[in-house]
Amino acid sequence: MSSKKTVADEAAPLASPRLIVLAGPTAVGKGTVAACVREHHPEIWISVSVTTRKPRPGEIDGYHYHFINDAEFDALIANGGLLEWAVVHKAARYGTPRAPVDRALASGKPALLEIDLQGARQVRERMPEAFLVFLAPPSFVELVRRLVGRGTEGSAERERRLETARKEMLAESEFDATIVNTDVRTACEELVDLFSSGSSRSNS
């Protein structure tokens, strides 16, 4: 039986700097938790992804995402400029620019990537030293409530995202630790704690 680590597990401190990848199902609150880290822990560098989707209300270009067109995205892929990228919800493309991540780690800063499951798998292959954290909802019912409640997608898009979320929930065992996002500030602090004393990986 596999042994899944949670933030409650005791472990020896890991070498610094550390790269943590935060992923989880749609609408679980990855962006909100990452925003909390940005606000309360400026010592942690947070990657800003590129995306071909349109901004949602309140999103700021260069802060929440770099909003680019398909041609610009294609150029980044062709030039090897992305650490990871994926088509999300069968619609827009998302990716992590590699150069800023390399610069942050080289400078000794702890770095956080808030990305999707496909991207997390790519980072695991290309940077095996990365520590992968799965952000889970308290329940699937709560995940549905959050997705419907934010009101940023139509009914067809919500159904696509929920279909994807069901599959994403099955990937939790691939991650090094799980944080249940019952309360944003608590999840934020649990995530930050992992930078200094995370759980070592278990293959048992």
How high is the pLDDT of residue 38?
95
pLDDT at 198: 52
DSSP the chain: -----BTTS--PPPPSS-EEEEE-STTSSHHHHHHHHHHH-TTSEE---EESSPPPTT--BTTTBEE--HHHHHHHHHTT-EEEEEE-TTS-EEEEEHHHHHHHHHTT--EEEE--HHHHHHHHHH-TT-EEEEEE-S-HHHHHHHHHHH--S-HHHHHHHHHHHHHHHTTGGGSSEEEE-SSHHHHHHHHHHHHHHPPPP---
Domain positions in the chain are 19-196
Q: For 62-77, how does the pLDDT look when each residue is reduced to its tens digit (9 = 90+)?
A: 998 999 999 999 999 9
Give me the pLDDT at residue 137, please: 94
Of the options 3.40.30.10, 3.40.50.300, 3.30.70.260, 3.40.190.10, the CATH number for the domain spanning 19-196: 3.40.50.300
Residue ranges of the chain with pLDDT lower than 50? 1-5, 7-14, 16-17, 199-204
For residue 8, the model assigns a pLDDT of 41
Residues 48-64 pLDDT 10s: 999 999 998 999 999 98
